[in-house]
């Protein structure tokens, strides 16, 4: 399971460095179309991997290591389920955030449309999680 987490962490650092390069060197708003595409792609991967890593950390401390003080071995199936669910939730959150930023760039979004987009993705996650 550490290989999956290290892959997610590597994707986070690579996409974050790509995002910094696109923002500082290319200027997505004044450059050609490919700059905006790379900006949204690196933003999507950075948000998805960051949220996935944070959710894995939170779930592993809250679910796998309760406050009872015991140090039991973690079952591999439970860890695989936590990593898969966290990655899926990170991708959904990243899709919603990227969509909100894209709509904001087009000057279409306001706060209640953004809230509706996030609520729609929460409902999709609840349907997939069943």
| Predicted pLDDT of residue 72 | 61
Q: What pLDDT was estimated at residue 129?
A: 82
Q: Which helix (H) or strand (E) holds 118?
A: helix 111-129
Residue numbers in the chain where pLDDT is lower than 50? none
Q: Is the Cβ–Cβ distance between 46 and 54 less than 8 Å? A: no
Q: What is the pTM of this model?
A: 0.84
| Closest of 52, 43, 40 to residue 7, by C-alpha | 52
DSSP 65: S
Give the per-residue pLDDT at 93.
Answer: 96
Residue 109 burial class via C-beta count within 10 angstroms: exposed 0-12, middle 13-18, buried 19 and up: middle
- Per-residue pLDDT at 28: 64
pLDDT confidence of residue 125: 92
Neighbours of 72 (CB within 10 A): 9
Report pLDDT for 73.
60
pLDDT of residue 66: 59
């Amino acid at each position: 399971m550490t290989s999956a987490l290290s892959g997610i962490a590597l994707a986070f650092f690579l996409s974050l460095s790509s995002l910094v390069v696109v923002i500082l060197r290319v200027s997505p708003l004044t450059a050609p179309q490919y700059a905006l595409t790379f900006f949204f792609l690196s933003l999507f991967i950075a948000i998805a991997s960051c949220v996935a890593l944070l959710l894995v950390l939170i779930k592993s401390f809250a679910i796998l290591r309760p406050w009872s003080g015991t140090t039991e071995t973690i079952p591999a199936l439970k860890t695989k389920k936590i990593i898969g669910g966290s990655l899926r939730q990170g991708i959904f959150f990243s899709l919603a955030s990227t969509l909100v930023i894209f709509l904001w760039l087009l000057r279409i979004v306001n706060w209640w449309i953004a809230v509706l987009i996030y609520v729609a993705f929460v409902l999709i996650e609840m349907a997939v999680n069943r």
